[in-house]
Amino acid sequence: MHLWSAYNSLTHTPNNEEDLPEIDNTFSMPIINANATEWPTLVTALDQLTKLNTIVSGSNRKLVVTLDMDLYKRVVKLEHLHPQFRDKWVFSPGAFHTVICALRCLGRTIEGSGLDTAWQEADLYSGVIVSQIINSNHYNRAVEAHQITLQVLFDLWFEAFLENNPVVWDTLSASVNPLTEACRTKPKSQRHTIGSEWKYRVIEDRGTATRV
């Protein structure tokens, strides 16, 4: 992959006087050489996006814009600054910041519930990491902690469910036990590998494995 300057040179510069430059459909958005958090910059960028949206979707379609949280908190104030900006755009924070907000709300719910103490007692996370998870300051650890907690709570719930519903347990056992015994007693030469890209079938008369 060439650098941007080399790419433009290859696609738009002829090799000799007789050759015409190759034309493609790649375009870059114009860059505004200004601070993104300034009001004139935000308004200019939104106006340019609105013009593009009008060309693509029509004049009766609203423009949906996703932004970083800092920019989002600024642009939502635009419709209160001047009447011309009302009902003109639909703003939304980006996916990452939306997840961060959800993790922070979940952390506030878990704080003091005993789950944060369980994380430390089980030696999953230290007190500093637990604080980061609750405040959603560590994205990967927060997602991991909530996934582990969800899995553990589901296992406990399912175990209690089976204890309170012995009929369901007997039905599941009756279905699983024959399969378990078949897997234990079936000769290795007749077993199939399930879940991989290829299944192997053993040709007993030759003693070799072939892909099927």
In a domain, 183, yes or no: no
Residue 12 lies in a domain: yes
Domain range holding 80? 4-93
Report residue 64's pLDDT band, with 50, 70 and 90 as the boundaries.
Answer: confident
- Within a domain: 21: yes
Please report the DSSP string for 142-184 in residue order: HHHHHHHHHHHHHHHHHHHHHHH-HHHHHHHHHHHHHHHHHHH
Per-residue model confidence as pLDDT tens digits over 136-173:
888 999 999 999 999 999 999 999 999 999 898 888 88
Q: Is residue 43 included in any domain, yes or no?
A: yes
Asked, for residue 80, whether it belongs to a domain, the answer is yes
Helix, strand or coil, per DSSP, at residue 209? strand
Task: Tell me what the pLDDT averaged over the chain comes to.
Answer: 77
Global model pTM greater than 0.75: no
Q: What residues contact residue 127 under an 8 Å CB cut-off, 6+ apart?
A: 120
Look at residue 90 and tell me whether its pLDDT is greater than 90: no
- Classify residue 68: in a domain, yes or no: yes
Look at residue 177 and tell me if it is in a domain: no
- Closest CA relative to residue 136, chosen from 177, 104, 176: 104
The count of structural domains within the chain is: 1
Flag whether 173 is in a domain: no
Closest CA to 100 of 59, 67, 70, 135: 135
Residue with tokens 């800092």: 70
